[in-house]
């Protein structure tokens, strides 16, 4: 009887030990590989998506496969605004988004929504890769995000289905889709256009159903989303150069070691260098496609007139913003 009692006890103990060990092994196995999700609204072939993938590959390589990032492209995880919210509460780990919808969460970045803030592409890249770019990335911390790096997005231009836009007043009466951000709204409605905020993924349909007459974007977005087939008047006025940003969720990043975060940041910087080169090629390729399709591409004659017509936005900015603007303008 006593012997049987001991056999039962030792059986139970070994079961407990065995179970404990295997579950502990499972936990370790889980800690070994972490799989994160990165949200991207552009299709797989687009340069930002390829930049995201380069970032993911570098992280995987440098952590020996321990940290894996799966890129969900083509808006599989939703439109940018909702992606950003999900990153903030940790439901999505990483995202590549335009700075415009992100400004609401990181107000200093509104500086990139100042029209004609950059003289040209080189000026923009110098700022993003320099002290100011780093400072602005750091300014995001504390808002639920970690700013990892910038991607290039060139210049945004107006396009529509009705007529050529040569002067700011030609925008009058048009229904123009805008990104969901205050400054853009304010700026475009100033010219007598009706602004219609909507997600990027809805623009094609908006043009098709005539809910909107046009929008504004760079050549690659105009081309890859097929907008050129429905809104064939594209005017190169270059009113905005709004960068793209790679963000991570602080909730998620706080669980990683300092070394892992360092690896992730470094990978993002290298992905930026790669994407910049790809971006230049993509701009040329996209412009060629839309021209060949027969879109009417108008190079505006008097850029100064456009610059002057948008100056009022600068005057409305706070003292702190004015200083930041000046620092950016002073970068040579």
**Segment interacting with ligand GTR (CB under 6 A) among 185-193, 213-221, 303-311, 314-322:** 213-221
181 binds ligand GTR (CB under 6 A): no
Residue 248 backbone dihedrals phi, psi, to 5 degrees: -125, 155
In sequence order, what are the residues at sequence separation of 6 or more whose Cβ sits closer than 8 angstroms to the Cβ of residue 279? 47, 151, 152, 153, 154, 220
Considering only 97, 103, 146, 193, the residue that binds ligand GTR (CB under 6 A) is 97
Q: Which is nearer to ligand GTR, 97 or 137 (CB)?
A: 97
Q: How far apart are CA 308 and CA 242, in angstroms?
A: 19
Q: How far apart are CA 145 and CA 106, in angstroms?
A: 9
Site string for ligand GTR, 126-155 (x = CB under 6 A): ---------------------------x--
Q: Which is nearer to ligand GTR, 101 or 263 (CB)?
A: 101
217 binds ligand GTR (CB under 6 A): yes
Q: How many helices (H) and strands (E) does the chain have?
A: 14, 11
Query: What SS3 class is residue 261?
Result: helix
Q: How far apart are CA 286 and CA 292, in angstroms?
A: 10
Site string for ligand GTR, 73-92 (x = CB under 6 A): -------x------------
Considering only 237, 244, 282, 287, the residue that binds ligand GTR (CB under 6 A) is 244
Count of residues making up the chain: 332
| Residue 16, H or E segment | helix 2-32
Q: How far apart are CA 58 and CA 39, in angstroms?
A: 17
223 binds ligand GTR (CB under 6 A): no
Beta bridge partners of 247: 95, 147
Within 14-73, the residues that bind ligand GTR by CB under 6 A are: 41
Q: Which is nearer to ligand GTR, 67 or 103 (CB)?
A: 103
Considering only 218, 249, 263, 276, the residue that binds ligand GTR (CB under 6 A) is 218
Q: Which is nearer to ligand GTR, 200 or 306 (CB)?
A: 200
User: What is the binding site for ligand GTR (CB under 6 A)?
Assistant: 41, 80, 97-98, 153, 179, 200, 217-218, 221, 244
């Amino acid at each position: 009887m006593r012997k049987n009692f001991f056999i039962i006890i030792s059986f139970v103990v070994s079961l407990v030990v065995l179970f404990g060990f295997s579950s502990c092994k499972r936990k370790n196995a889980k800690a070994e590989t972490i799989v994160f999700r990165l949200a991207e609204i552009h299709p797989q072939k687009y340069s930002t998506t390829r930049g995201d993938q380069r970032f993911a590959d570098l992280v995987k390589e440098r952590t020996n496969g321990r940290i894996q990032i799966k890129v969900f492209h083509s808006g599989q995880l939703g439109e940018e605004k909702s992606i950003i919210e999900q990153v903030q509460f940790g439901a999505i780990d990483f995202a590549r988004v335009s700075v415009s919808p992100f400004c609401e969460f990181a107000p200093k970045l509104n500086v990139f929504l100042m029209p004609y803030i950059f003289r040209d592409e080189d000026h923009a890249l110098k700022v993003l890769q320099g002290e100011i770019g780093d400072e602005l990335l750091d300014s995001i911390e504390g808002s639920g995000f970690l700013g990892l790096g910038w991607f290039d997005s060139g210049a945004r231009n107006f396009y529509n289905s009705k007529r050529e836009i040569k002067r700011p007043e030609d925008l009058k009466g048009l229904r123009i889709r805008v990104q969901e951000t205050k400054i853009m709204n304010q700026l475009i409605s100033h010219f007598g256009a009706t602004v219609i905020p909507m997600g990027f993924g809805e623009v094609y349909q908006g043009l098709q159903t005539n809910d909107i007459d046009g929008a504004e974007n760079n050549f690659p977005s105009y081309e890859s989303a097929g907008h050129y087939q429905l809104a064939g008047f594209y005017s190169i006025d270059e009113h905005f150069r709004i960068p793209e940003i790679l963000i991570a969720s602080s909730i998620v990043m706080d669980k990683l070691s300092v070394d892992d975060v360092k690896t992730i940041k470094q990978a993002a910087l290298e992905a930026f260098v790669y994407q910049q080169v790809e971006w230049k090629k993509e701009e040329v390729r996209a412009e060629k496609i839309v021209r060949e399709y027969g879109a009417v591409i108008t190079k505006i004659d008097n850029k100064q007139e456009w610059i002057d017509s948008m100056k009022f936005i600068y005057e409305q900015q706070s003292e702190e913003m004015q200083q930041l603007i000046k620092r950016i303008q002073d970068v040579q």
